[in-house]
Structure 1
Amino acid sequence: MKSIQTLFVLILGIMSQVSFGQFTDEINSNRPGRSMMAFSVGKSVFQTETGLHYVNEDHNTLDYKASGFMAEFDIRWGLFFEQLELIAEFQYQNDNYTSELLDKNRSALKKTLLGAKYLVYDPFKNYEEKPNLYSWKANHRFKWRQFIPALAVYGGANLNFSDNPFNFAPIDIEEPKVSPKAMIIAQNHFGSHWVLVTNVAYNKIGSDFASIDYIVTLTRGFNKQWSGFIENQGYMGDYYSDGLFRMGAAYLFNKDMQIDASIGKNIKNTPSLFTGGIGFSWRFTKNYKEVKMAKPGTETKTDKKMKKKGEKEAKKRKDAVE
């Protein structure tokens, strides 16, 4: 695990280029998938993303079954900078667990994760694609630039201050109360309809339950209201490894509200998992002030100030020589 930690430190150190976040006219929700997009919600924008899911679990080896519901509640808040976002994620699960020797109800806060995300590179910054007025073919040619992703980094902490019956810890090993999580986020836009989001995370760093996780989500916009997605999520740890597939759709109710539905299934039977649920996303934008970005080739206020300062310094040097 030490080599993995070193790799993450190097990657986070290399990604130091500052860019701007992107506030969209319509709500930009991570739901109904589980991946995290690279772009923030926008400075002073407050957004909530909630979901309610049916959960069914069946373990062939340990011979138990569990079914119930899981509630999700995420808070996203753009703060200080356009490209910075604070994120709080909560999962609560309540189910009925049955085996040959036991029949009980389980309920607990399954996940509490607090963190921050920062957009470090935006391929669309200071880039303006001008149409070719003389060639239809040139305007519709394949563009390699779309393979350059927007990049963001995430850092957070898992909190575990209660007895959690939903973790995969052995009886004689207790999960840490606080464990870090680091993640790299990439987001590609292919044309005007397709978005590919990739998350690679190192979770519960420094603990016995450390794992390398990933999520790959492909979203297709069908029209202004409807979109669909397919997703693959993987866990690679000493105590739990698995792969899950999800699919679903979202409907844009208005520019600040979205509803969604999804189903998911994993690839193993120790345990076998199935989920199906609905969700709702909402954002508050009253305090948002548009961040005006200069077009490529134009001078910003900062550029003008620096130019004026340079002219003054040049004049001082000239006067000193004379």
Structure 2
Amino acid sequence: MKHTQRLYTLSLLVLITLYQANAQYTETINSNRPGASQGAFAVGENVIQLETGISFENSQHSLRSSDASIFGTDYALRYGFQSSRFEFIIDGTFLAQNESILAGGSFREFETANFQRNTLGGKYLFYDPWISREMEGPNLRSWKKNNTLQWWHLIPAVSGYVGINTNFGGSPFMPEEDSFISSRLALISQHNYKRWVLVSNFIMDRILTDFTSFTGIFTLTHTINYNWSVFGEFQTIIGDFYSDELLRGGAAYLISRNLQVDVNALVNFKSTPERWQVGIGVSYRFDQFLNEDYIFESKEKKQDYEKQKENEKIKSERKQKFNIP
């Protein structure tokens, strides 16, 4: 009986700790672009974020003797709901394809356009190892412990994702007999160490259908300076409809605190089909409705943020006063 009470008390304390802890609102935009993986952290409570891009791809299938040019547009709309740990996500990809197929000694051209994927989902941050460390503050007795790799740096932040796919029908980029609605689950981990970030996604898609697939995405990002970052990414896809190994790389540039642009490229390692792709994208964060009770990386940065908000307020008042458009 005593053991049961202790277990109940411990479980209650853990739940209270998880409920009270908040993921840190980052001073600059936290975008999932330009890679294909999701980071473990949400955008922040009451924050709206739009991530979109365009791409051009060439796909050649050796068995079908086909050559396709594909223009794509992808989008993601993220909203931090009620908590800095939870966000709603609507994301998808629209493709327009022009394909030439060798048949009967001559090439025939086919044009088609439709969605490849549309998903409504939610992501929740279950565990963040940095929260307790930030509350403890730096070790005042040991420079080494503050500036070298420690064992707890190997512990990742962990999130879970649940999504619902919708199939509008007639899309050549989806299985012909795919269900109108299917589910998508993902386990997300993220390691942060100084200027390096390693994100891992383990995804199970189209669950309980005839075309269930398994995907692993591993993204390594390095921040060069305040504005520039580069990334490399490996993705493996296992499924009856499509299987492949993809390699991506690219760079992102931070224009302002809430605006990021990126370039990216993709290649694969097989000829059925053989693919390469290039793309550009942009991410923008709307944080006007942000609850500002967040921990910034330093008091100086929080003061800079508050000063910027005050300057924006003054400019807005001047425009209204003098009728400046």
Into which bin does the TM-score normalised by the smaller protein fall? 0.7 to 0.9
Q: How does 1:1-322 map to 2 (within 5 A)?
A: 18=19, 19-101=21-103, 102-128=108-134, 130-133=137-140, 135-167=142-174, 169=175, 174-190=177-193, 192-292=194-294
Give 3-state SS (helix, strand or coil) of 1:250's partner: strand
Q: What amino acid maps onto 1:149 in structure 2?
A: P
Partner of 1:297 in structure 2?
Answer: none
Give 3-state SS (helix, strand or coil) of 2:291's partner: coil
Percent same amino acid at aligned positions? 38
Q: 1:138 to 1:182 in 2, by over 3 A?
A: closer
Deviation of 1:135 (Å):
4.8
Deviation of 1:292 (Å):
4.5
Deviation of 1:133 (Å):
4.8
Contact kept in structure 2, 1:22 and 1:40, CA below 8 Å = no
Q: Deviation above 6 Å: which 4+ runs of structure 1?
A: none
CA distance in 2, matches of 1:205, 1:236: 13
Deviation of 1:162 (Å):
2.3
Give 3-state SS (helix, strand or coil) of 1:175's partner: coil
- More off after superposition, 98-107 vs 112-121: 98-107
TM-score (norm 2): 0.80
Contact kept in structure 2, 1:22 and 1:83, CA below 8 Å = no
RMSD: 1.7
CA distance in 1, matches of 2:141, 2:260: 40
1:11-40 deviation per Cα after TM superposition (whole angstroms, max 9, x unaligned): xxxx98554233111000000001000100
Give 3-state SS (helix, strand or coil) of 2:152's partner: helix
Count of residue pairs brought into register by the alignment: 274
1:24-76 deviation per Cα after TM superposition (whole angstroms, max 9, x unaligned): 11000000001000100001100000100001110011111100310111100
Give unpaired runs (5+ residues) of structure 2.
Answer: 1-13, 296-325
Q: 1:268 to 1:70 in 2, by over 3 A?
A: same
Give 3-state SS (helix, strand or coil) of 1:28's partner: coil
Partner of 2:6 in structure 1?
Answer: none
TM-score (norm 1): 0.81
Q: 1:24 to 1:233 in 2, by over 3 A?
A: same
CA distance in 1, matches of 2:212, 2:222: 33
Q: What amino acid maps onto 1:76 in structure 2?
A: R
Q: What amino acid maps onto 1:225 in structure 2?
A: N
Deviation of 1:157 (Å):
0.8
Deviation of 1:181 (Å):
0.4
Which structure is higher in helix share? 2
CA distance in 2, matches of 1:134, 1:123: 22
CA distance in 2, matches of 1:41, 1:132: 29
Deviation of 1:142 (Å):
2.4
CA distance in 2, matches of 1:40, 1:85: 6
1:277-301 deviation per Cα after TM superposition (whole angstroms, max 9, x unaligned): 10000010000012457xxxxxxxx
CA distance in 1, matches of 2:271, 2:190: 32
CA distance in 1, matches of 2:47, 2:214: 31
1:217-252 deviation per Cα after TM superposition (whole angstroms, max 9, x unaligned): 000000000000000011111232111000000000
Contact kept in structure 1, 2:182 and 2:209, CA below 8 Å = yes
Deviation of 1:80 (Å):
1.6
Give unpaired runs (5+ residues) of structure 1.
Answer: 1-14, 294-322
Q: What amino acid maps onto 1:113 in structure 2?
A: T
Contact kept in structure 2, 1:72 and 1:92, CA below 8 Å = yes
